[in-house]
Amino acid sequence: MQHVINNAYQGCDTDEERLHLDATVNSASQPWMLRNQHYGMHPQTPPYYRSPHNVGMPPPHEEPMHHSMQQPMHHPIQQMQGGASASNTAGASRVKQPNFTPEEDILLTKWWVSICTDPVVNTGQRREGMWSRICSGYNSQCSPYPKRSKKSITKRWEGIKVECTIFSHRYAEIVRINPSGMSDADKTTEALARYAGAQKKPFNYMHCWKYLKDEPKWHEEVEKPTTSNDDEDCMETVDGASNQVDTTDDNSTPSSGNGKRPLGRDSSKASRKKTAESFASKMHGLWSDRNSYMKETQNEKNVHLAHIAAIEKEKLDRQVELEKEKMEHNMRLEERRLAIEDRRLAQEEKEREARIVADEERFLSIDLDMCIPCLRPFYKAQQDKILAKYTNPSSD
């Protein structure tokens, strides 16, 4: 019985857990002590190796010390029946802690984002080291809430991750559809309704999703097609299990029945060879496809260029024909303009000759005896000139 109690004390991480364990083993030993009082024995309590006053000290080699009967009981267990052995109840290795609050969920989410996006370590850290850092950071800022073990924090995060991933897919569907007139709040409400309809329960991690939705690291986690083997055991959301403090050794060896036998040397070599051959075959196929695609693309390009050349030639021929038609039309217009000009000049010549004839008739019709004496020589000269013109036409 002592080695069970010692293992339980060694698994405690905080003073509060050790106080709870002291109260549990004291309450479990009360019926045994009460029976011993009838035989003149003093009340005793089971031994312990660690108390809140000597945390971090190794267990003594001598007979362990005893607590008094006045130790307060925080979490009593059921009393043993009749002659049942006290060792059946003293081996309890789990202590119930309060459920995670929304504030604790947000703190855990913030530390997950902070550790996963660390610019120094980033993706180069292993799973165990990453969760150790998350657990240490969480427990350093969790006051006034209780500290949690790494296993409890890991399971709680996996529950948050699964539910927030499902809700993120529902929200992405609404954003992809992008209904007209729907605000961001309306889209969130519609996503909540779709989640409740598909999962048959409400979405209880909105406080975590609001912090994660704008983080690029979270979008990478959501877009991952599958989950790694290390995370498969933590994918179920079990709130009750996540609130248990595991006081057993986290580094204990798992049972061999749950694991798979690793591949041998020859099998590993054959698997690597097969993978290399498959990769080479795929690369050869890709190269062939690329060459055929390039040939097809070149042929299509040549056909396209020939089609463009034919269009350009047709366009040029059409342009030459239009220019020729335009020149012929301009020539016809010019000929018409010249003909009109000739007719106009001929008409003007006729009008001028008509005016000359009219003037000549007017001069010939003047009576020299009746005209003014000073104008008589002028009219006489004009009449002689006109008569000479018509009498001797060849002289002109």
Taking the C-alpha atoms of residue 43 and residue 290, their distance in angstroms, rounded to an integer, is 87
Taking the C-alpha atoms of residue 305 and residue 245, their distance in angstroms, rounded to an integer, is 75
Nearest Cα to 9, choosing from 42, 44, 46, 61?
46
Gap between the terminal Cα atoms of the chain? 163
Helices (H), 97-213: 102-116, 127-141, 150-177, 184-199, 206-212
In this prediction, residues 218-236 reach a mean pLDDT of: 59
Structure pTM? 0.37
**Between 364 and 13, residue with greater pLDDT:** 364
Helices (H), the chain: 2-10, 15-37, 87-90, 102-116, 127-141, 150-177, 184-199, 206-212, 216-223, 239-242, 265-364, 376-391
Percent of the chain with pLDDT over 90: 30
Give the residue carrying structure tokens 């009393």: 79
pLDDT confidence band for 180 (50 / 70 / 90): confident
Secondary structure class of 371 (helix, strand, coil): coil
Nearest Cα to 242, choosing from 165, 157, 327?
157
Range in 73-87, 147-161, 308-322, 344-358 with the lowest mean pLDDT: 73-87
Taking the C-alpha atoms of residue 15 and residue 12, their distance in angstroms, rounded to an integer, is 8
- Four-point Cα dihedral 21, 27, 29, 34, nearest 10: 160
Residue 315 confidence (pLDDT) = 93
For the chain, the residue count is: 396
- Helix (H) / strand (E) element for 94: namely strand 94-96
Taking the C-alpha atoms of residue 198 and residue 192, their distance in angstroms, rounded to an integer, is 10
pLDDT in tens, 16-50: 777 776 777 666 555 444 444 444 444 444 443 34
Taking the C-alpha atoms of residue 115 and residue 101, their distance in angstroms, rounded to an integer, is 21
Taking the C-alpha atoms of residue 17 and residue 22, their distance in angstroms, rounded to an integer, is 9
Residue 253 reports pLDDT greater than 60? no
Residue 183 reports pLDDT greater than 60? yes
Task: Give Cβ neighbours of residue 192 (< 8 Å, ≥ 6 apart).
Answer: 167, 202, 203, 206
In this prediction, residues 313-336 reach a mean pLDDT of: 94
Taking the C-alpha atoms of residue 117 and residue 124, their distance in angstroms, rounded to an integer, is 11
**Between 53 and 381, residue with greater pLDDT:** 381
Task: Give Cβ neighbours of residue 227 (< 8 Å, ≥ 6 apart).
Answer: 235
Taking the C-alpha atoms of residue 221 and residue 164, their distance in angstroms, rounded to an integer, is 11
